[in-house]
Amino acid sequence: MHIDTIIPADLDWQAQALCAQTGADFFFPEPGSSVREAKRICGMCEMRPACLEYALQNDERFGVWGGLSEKERLELRRTTH
Ligand code: SF4
């Protein structure tokens, strides 16, 4: 069996995620600490649209996804639904 047959297609983007190379620490900061560094990395990440879409669809509550903090995603969800 090829390894890629067991990775769901909609998770392919994670293999190219910039944060996978930098480590998760920036993306799940302690409450109240800065998300600026995570957002800076997201800004250079080609997978950003797929990442944000995934986070919204899966209702990811914690951390920075697709360049948005959990609070910003909540606001986005409120204004688009
Ligand atoms: S947009 Fe940000 S959180 Fe999403 S995959 Fe890229 S670097 Fe990671």
Average confidence (pLDDT) over 26-30: 88
Pocket test residue of 16, 18, 58, 69 for ligand 1, highest count of atoms within 8 A of CB: 18
Please report, as a single letter, which amino acid is at residue 54. Answer: Y
Q: Which residues line ligand 1 (CB under 6 A)?
A: 17-19, 27, 41-42, 45, 47-48, 51, 64-67
Confidence band of 1 (pLDDT split at 50, 70, 90): very low
Query: Is the per-residue pLDDT at 2 higher than 70?
Result: no
Where are the domains positioned within the chain? Answer: 34-81
Backbone angles phi, psi at 68, to 5 degrees: -120, 140
- Average pLDDT of span 17-26: 89
d(CA 12, CA 36): 26
Distances (CA, A) of 10 to 2, 23, 37, 74: 17, 21, 26, 22
